[in-house]
Amino acid sequence: MAMAFKMATTGMWVTDECKNSFMEMKWKKVHRFIVFKIDEESKLVTVDKVGGPGEGYDDLAASLPGDDCRYAVFDFDFVTVDNCRKSKIFFIAWAPTASRIRAKILYATSKDGLRRVLDGISYEVQATDPTEMGIEVIRDRAK
């Protein structure tokens, strides 16, 4: 079985698994979140972890390493002031202070390429520590 890849800027390649997992989350609601990582040797953006529909934002936050960068998408369900159920997809660029400078640069320069492949993101959050991406931040942005 041949794998197809989409070229991101900076020479990174986004695997089909990334796009397919995102589409399953967006349309079928089978995932609550997806964490992506860059394999520096192969230059591939791959799926690192997938959170099932029963998992929540705390599970996503717990799956992000304290010393390495990641990208994540989170499907946030909420009820508007008009009592309408809505869903917004958040893209999170996670670059903790303890991560290597090289990793921070790699993730920063590759982010737009991955975002172009993931069609349907409503909001973006950049975080260097958990307080910058707390559920309150997500709630405030989704209003």
Query: In tens digits, what is the pLDDT along the chain, a chain of 143 residues?
Result: 344 555 444 567 899 999 999 999 999 999 999 999 999 888 899 999 999 999 999 999 999 999 999 999 999 999 888 999 999 999 999 999 999 999 999 999 999 999 999 999 999 999 999 989 999 999 999 87
- Tokens describing residue 143: 């209003």
**CATH number, domain containing residue 74:** 3.40.20.10
- Total domains in the chain come to 1
62 three-state secondary structure: helix
Segments forming the whole domain that contains residue 113: 4-142
Question: In this predicted structure, what is the pLDDT of residue 81?
Answer: 87
Give the pLDDT of residue 11.
Answer: 62
- pTM score > 0.85 for this model? yes
User: Is 64 exposed, middle or buried, given 0-12, 13-18 or 19+ CB atoms closer than 10 A?
Assistant: buried
